[in-house]
Amino acid sequence: MTRLRRALGWLHRHPRLEVLAILAMLAGLAGGATVAFGLYNVSADAPHLPPTRWALHTTYRQAVRLRAPPEAAIPADLMAGARIGLGARHFDAACRQCHAAPGERRTATQEAMRPEPPHVTRAVENWAPRHLHWILREGVKMSGMPAWPGHRADEPWSAVAFLEAVRDMDAEGYAALTEAPAEGTWGYCAGCHGTDGVGRLGPYVPRLDILGASYLAMSLEAYRTGLRRSGYMQHAATEVSEADLGAMAARFGALPVGPSGPGPDPALAEAGEALAKRGTLDDPSCASCHGDAATRPARAEFPALNGQHEGYLAAQLRLWRDGARGGGARSHLMTAAARDLSDGEIAALAAYYAALPPRGFDPEDR
């Protein structure tokens, strides 16, 4: 009580501060009453008051600009065609229902949402790629815009690539990017991975024709349960039924193995061979689990790497090294194997395995 009397006495001797203190107290009481008695109308049919709308939008824009990654973080291959294609496929499956597609009018339900999700061609206005990356990765509170599933920093760049390309995209261009074989779930998966399993979006998605059905089934289950992180695959694996996931694993696992793509740098691949065969009792060599050129096939619980896309291999090794990848009961082995790899060693290992002929491919079928 003595301290309170002293504080009140001090305020009384400073009239301006006394007025400010009274106003702050009244504002606090008004805010408390608004919350406690439901005085603010949260109906989506009643738009925000102008001051509220200004405060929310200004906070949103300033928060994005403050926290967006630097320009240096933007990948050099941002506008690669395969990146744009992957981003378009994900947008079509996960985002179109709120933001519509190029050349497509939004539905009445979309327009009635509060806050109203902007049409995709308007959503990208006034945002640079680094800003779009932050919005996609982090999401926006109180807007319905979700954070990126898996929260991986590398994946949203392909969606950013699509959003950059969408500025000048018409309905025909969008359809060409998102068309898929009209075969139900198979077509949905083959849209990225191809009906041959080699895929048209490498190196941003893996080829599946070289992987066994059991490994594919394990991977899909890991995506479905969130054990393995990927905004693209976690969405895909939870959009289809468990039975369909098993059928997809069996179907892709039974595909004939195709040829490798363009050969990596031979010198880099040779350096990677030495790394792949190097190992200790505590950290087994890459070849001991994933196989090698001819004598040793991959063990069933591990993916075959021979002929896999070079860029995809390098990206996965970086994720293992940086602690951003999991996915199975033996994942601790890869975490240990990759933790000390340099960027140069990762590039060499990726080149080595990409250069190997896929097991089961017959050159006579080329």
pLDDT over threshold 70, residue 294: no
Residue with the larger pLDDT of the pair 20 and 269: 269
Long-range pairs of 46-54 with CB within 8 A, sequence gap ≥ 24: 47/114, 48/114, 48/115
CATH topology classification for 60-177: Cytochrome Bc1 Complex; Chain D, domain 2 (1.10.760)
Distances (CA, A) of 312 to 20, 231, 232: 61, 16, 14
Dist. CA 209–CA 213, nearest whole Å: 10
- Ordered DSSP codes for 283-346: S--HHHHH--SSS-PPPTTS---TT--HHHHHHHHHHHHTT----STTHHHHHHHHTT--HHHH
Cβ 180 vs Cβ 189: under 8 Å = no
**pLDDT at res. 365:** 44
What mean pLDDT do residues 208-226 have?
Answer: 92
pLDDT over threshold 80, residue 362: no
Instruction: Determine whether domain 266-365 maps to CATH 1.10.760.10.
Output: yes
Quick check: do 60-177 and 180-253 share a fold?
yes
SS3 state of residue 145: strand
Most confident stretch, 170-179, 191-200, 288-297: 170-179
Confidence tier at 133 by pLDDT (50, 70, 90): very high
Cβ contacts of residue 175 below 8 Å, gap of 6+? none
Nearest to 116 by CA among 139, 129, 99, 104: 99
**pLDDT at res. 366:** 40
Q: Give CATH for domain 180-253.
A: 1.10.760.10
Q: What is the residue extent of each domain of the chain?
A: 60-177, 180-253, 266-365
pLDDT over threshold 70, residue 7: no
pLDDT in tens, 140-162: 998 889 999 988 999 999 999 99
Residue with the larger pLDDT of the pair 26 and 166: 166
What mean pLDDT do residues 316-321 have?
Answer: 92
SS3 state of residue 140: strand
Nearest to 245 by CA among 253, 278, 40: 253
Structure tokens at 267: 């010198």
Confidence tier at 132 by pLDDT (50, 70, 90): very high
Which residue blocks in the chain are alpha helix, DSSP H?
A: 2-12, 15-36, 50-67, 81-94, 96-99, 108-112, 120-123, 129-138, 156-165, 171-178, 184-193, 213-225, 231-239, 242-253, 266-276, 286-290, 310-321, 331-338, 343-355
What mean pLDDT do residues 83-105 have?
Answer: 95
DSSP 138: H
Q: Is the dihedral of CA 83, 84, 85, 90 positive or negative?
A: positive
